[in-house]
């Protein structure tokens, strides 16, 4: 080979090496991954972001959760939001009026199955600390203090009828907080990220390959959180799941879990193992996942179809007690566990 040709090849090689080096530097810096974990909202929160390094990621994320908590809970009477006086009133911060509007609408849509007025029952069952169920008399009393007719929502105010009525936002808090964190992080110089609030997922931004995020849906029959039944693809929004496996205690071989049926006052005897909702709006996703768990498979199908028609959600994944998976809406899923199959 001529000396001149050799030099040409060498120059080309050096050029390719330099270009690859610069390209890999650019790619690495834009794909820079950061993860922070913290305990909030009664669960482990993990925020993973890709993009320019953010030194204050932890404090920004924690502050966003505090902001969500403030918007939901501020000005509430103490004692777990149970009113101690007749006609007690919660004045909502302006920004949260819409959140409660959405939540009360889901109460309507689920015919009272998603029902924030059950605070007296949630407090009585105290699933995190209890080891034996409350008595029938205690349940009847808490039930008499709960119910849609005990609270009213109007003009940015929530009012209670009698002392002992209350409001519990446990079924919307994480969905809403996911949206608030995502909004705060979207304002930073980041490419994309995934917010995991105890299994409730919120994604934001766009992956460099323009592919969707693949989110694993947990096996409700397993204690291992990484054990998944299927994956679902989403480009944006929330993936929120409710199931009896999340919080419970066992007494005489029976499981008492944290999702209460407002019509009985007992943990819901649902025919479902879990309900997952996909939505651009975390509040709708969270409220509907809880409400649909209570109403069970057949009623959920109708409610969720209506919710899709009204553009509240994008789709849903229902796993029933027969290990059958019902998909509602046009969503892309893939089963990863042979023990489960799609319902016919
Ligand atoms: P999630 O994990 O989103 O299904 O919400 C469950 C939490 O919401 C419970 O820990 C209670 O604080 C509250 N909750 C339980 N049952 C209901 C219900 N039927 N409607 C509204 N909130 C509920
Ligand atoms: Mg919920």
344 residues of the chain, pLDDT tens digit each:
556 655 655 565 554 444 444 444 444 444 699 999 999 888 899 999 999 988 899 999 999 988 888 777 654 444 346 665 556 677 777 888 999 999 999 999 999 999 999 999 999 999 989 999 999 999 999 999 999 899 999 888 888 888 889 889 889 999 999 999 999 999 988 999 999 999 899 999 999 999 999 999 999 999 998 999 999 999 999 999 999 988 999 999 999 999 999 999 999 999 999 999 999 999 999 999 999 999 999 999 999 999 999 999 999 999 999 999 999 999 999 999 999 999 98
Element (H or E) spanning 188, and its range? none
Please work out whether the CB of residue 262 comes within 6 Å of at least one atom of ligand 1. yes
Distance 81 CA to ligand 1 centre (A): 14
282: closest CA among 197, 185, 205?
197
Which bound ligand lies closest to the C-alpha atom of 43?
1
> What is the predicted pLDDT for the residue at 163?
87
- Nearest protein CA to atom 5 of ligand 1, as residue: 171
Please work out whether the CB of residue 124 comes within 6 Å of at least one atom of ligand 1. no
Per DSSP bridges, beta strands 254-257 and 341-342 are unpaired
DSSP letter (8 states) at residue 155: T
pTM: 0.89
d(CA 278, CA 230): 14
Which ligand 1 atom lies nearest to the CA of residue 242?
Answer: 4
Which ligand 1 atom lies nearest to the CA of residue 127?
Answer: 10
d(CA 294, CA 298): 11
d(CA 114, CA 112): 5
Please work out whether the CB of residue 294 comes within 6 Å of at least one atom of ligand 1. yes
For residue 200, the cross-strand partners are 197
Residue 109's SS3 state is helix
Distance 209 CA to ligand 1 centre (A): 37
> What is the predicted pLDDT for the residue at 19?
44
- Nearest protein CA to atom 15 of ligand 1, as residue: 259
Distance 313 CA to ligand 2 centre (A): 14
- Nearest protein CA to atom 6 of ligand 1, as residue: 171
> What is the predicted pLDDT for the residue at 6?
59
Mutation choice for ligand 1 from 73, 201, 275, 290, CB with most ligand atoms inside 8 A: 290
In sequence order, what E strands does the chain have?
Answer: 33-40, 43-51, 89-91, 151-154, 157-160, 190-197, 200-205, 213-218, 228-234, 237-243, 248-251, 254-257, 272-279, 315-320, 324-328, 333-335, 341-342
Mutation choice for ligand 1 from 43, 120, 122, CB with most ligand atoms inside 8 A: 122
Cβ(327)–Cβ(341) under 8 Å? no
Please work out whether the CB of residue 286 comes within 6 Å of at least one atom of ligand 1. yes
User: Which pair of structure tokens corresponds to residue 9?
Assistant: 């090849």
Cβ(203)–Cβ(194) under 8 Å? yes
d(CA 27, CA 35): 18
Site of tokens 């899923």: 333
Distance 21 CA to ligand 1 centre (A): 52
> What is the predicted pLDDT for the residue at 71?
78
Which bound ligand lies closest to the C-alpha atom of 288?
2
> What is the predicted pLDDT for the residue at 160?
87
């Amino acid at each position: 080979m001529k000396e001149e040709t050799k030099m040409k090849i060498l120059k080309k090689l050096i050029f390719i090496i330099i270009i690859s080096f610069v390209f890999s530097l650019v790619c690495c810096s834009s794909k820079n991954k950061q993860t922070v974990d913290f305990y909030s909202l009664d669960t482990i929160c993990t925020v993973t972001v890709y993009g320019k390094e953010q030194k204050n990621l932890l404090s920004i994320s924690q502050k966003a959760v505090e902001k969500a908590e403030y918007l939901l809970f501020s000005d509430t009477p103490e004692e777990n939001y149970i009113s101690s006086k007749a006609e007690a009133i919660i004045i909502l911060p302006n920004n949260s009026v819409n959140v409660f509007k959405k939540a009360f609408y889901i109460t309507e849509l689920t015919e009272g199955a998603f029902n924030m007025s059950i605070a007296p029952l949630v407090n009585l069952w105290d699933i995190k600390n209890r080891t034996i169920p409350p008595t029938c008399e205690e349940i009847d009393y808490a039930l008499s203090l709960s119910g849609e007719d005990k609270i009213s929502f109007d003009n940015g105010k929530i009012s209670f009828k009698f002392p002992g009525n209350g409001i519990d936002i446990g079924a919307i808090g994480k969905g809403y907080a996911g949206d608030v964190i995502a909004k705060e992080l979207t304002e930073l110089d980041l490419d994309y990220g995934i917010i995991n609030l105890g299994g409730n997922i919120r994604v934001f931004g766009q992956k460099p390959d323009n592919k969707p995020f693949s989110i694993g849906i947990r096996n409700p029959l397993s204690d291992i959180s990484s054990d998944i039944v299927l994956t679902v693809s989403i480009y944006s929004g929330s993936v929120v799941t409710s199931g009896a496996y999340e919080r419970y205690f066992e007494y005489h071989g029976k499981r008492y879990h944290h999702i209460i049926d407002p019509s009985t006052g007992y943990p819901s005897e649902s025919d479902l193992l879990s309900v997952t909702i996909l939505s651009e709006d975390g509040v709708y996703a969270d409220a509907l996942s809880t409400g649909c768990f209570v109403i069970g498979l057949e009623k959920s199908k109708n409610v969720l179809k209506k919710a899709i028609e009204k553009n509240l959600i994008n789709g849903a994944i229902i796993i029933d007690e027969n290990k059958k998976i019902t998909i509602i809406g046009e969503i892309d899923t893939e089963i990863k566990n042979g023990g489960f199959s799609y319902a016919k």
